[in-house]
């Protein structure tokens, strides 16, 4: 019987390895520095809209965080398994009495911590710029700080899901290009699933599309993550009220989708042959 404390120790070891690897990665540091520099330009960009300074600034900041976070996510998620394959350290891990699930879950948790730190750093810079602009250009209505930080939190969950999908593809692919291409395609396609569903349910979609196309569209809607539900830019920019029920359902959906993808990744990784 295995020691009950062995699994937490194993997870913490792999989490530490993933965090150290991410900190040493110069590409990740470079992306983060570029993101911080872009956020410093927020006041300059915002003054082009004298009537809606905070609206433009918040939209610009969230867009920069979304772009930088996606680059960080893809860069780190691709290297979680690929780096060990290139360095052949994965063979040593597989030869030890350690479950592959613990290895993959520990590495992903380390990735999740690094992404959370990156989002927190970018969010602090963005909030600082917005706070300065709020004092210089007082808005007609109070800025929705709660909605802004909630938007950052849900943006973080988008990165987690994209990272999990990338890891899933990395466990079955033999090159880095395929997981990267599929993850990028899913990321951009997942913002359109809600629009596709509305079109399929509309009169135009019912009349113009064949049954096979409608079935395929519904399958795509249920398989791909619905990232439009996590995107709160419109609510933040225009100060729209956020429903507590909607926020809770979105969070539960994020937990469920992330859990399913991680379970599939661990199953695929446990069956992969390395030797």
Tell me the CA distances in angstroms from 35 to 53, 133, 230, one per residue in order. Answer: 20, 19, 21
Q: Is the pLDDT of residue 120 over 80?
A: yes
Confidence of residue 205 (pLDDT cuts 50, 70, 90): low
State the average pLDDT for the chain.
Answer: 82
For a pLDDT cut of 70, what percent of the chain falls above it? 84
Q: Examine the pLDDT at 221 and tell me if it is beyond 90.
A: no
Q: Each residue of 239-248: pLDDT tens digit?
A: 677 788 889 9
Residue 103 pLDDT? 84
Which CA distances in Å does 129 have to 49, 57, 67, 132, 248? 15, 8, 18, 5, 29
Give the span between the Cα atoms of 209 and 82, in whole angstroms: 42
């Amino acid at each position: 019987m295995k020691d009950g404390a062995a699994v937490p120790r194993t997870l913490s070891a792999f989490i530490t390895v993933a965090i150290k690897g991410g900190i040493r990665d110069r590409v990740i540091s470079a992306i983060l520095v570029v993101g911080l520099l872009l956020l410093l330009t927020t006041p300059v960009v915002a003054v082009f809209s004298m009537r809606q300074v905070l609206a433009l600034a918040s939209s610009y900041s969230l867009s920069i965080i979304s772009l930088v976070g996606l680059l960080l996510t893809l860069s780190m998620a691709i290297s979680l398994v690929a780096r060990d394959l290139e360095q052949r350290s994965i063979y040593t891990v597989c030869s030890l009495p350690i479950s592959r699930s613990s290895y993959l879950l520990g590495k992903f948790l380390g990735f999740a911590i690094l992404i959370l730190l990156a989002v927190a750093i970018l969010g602090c810079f963005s909030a600082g710029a917005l706070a300065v602009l709020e004092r210089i250009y007082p808005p007609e209505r109070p800025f929705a700080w709660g909605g802004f930080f909630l938007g950052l939190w849900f943006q973080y969950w988008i990165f987690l899901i994209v990272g999990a999908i990338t890891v899933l593809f990395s466990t079955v692919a033999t090159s880095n290009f395929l997981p990267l291409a599929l993850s990028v395609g899913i990321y951009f396609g997942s913002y359109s699933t809600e629009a596709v569903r509305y079109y399929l349910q509309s009169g135009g979609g019912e009349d113009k599309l064949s049954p096979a196309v409608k079935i395929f569209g519904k399958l795509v809607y249920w398989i791909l993550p619905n990232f439009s539900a996590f995107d709160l830019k419109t609510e933040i920019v225009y100060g729209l009220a956020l429903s507590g029920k909607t926020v809770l359902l979105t969070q539960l959906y994020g937990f469920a989708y992330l859990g399913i993808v991680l379970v599939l990744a661990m199953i695929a990784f446990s069956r992969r042959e390395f030797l």
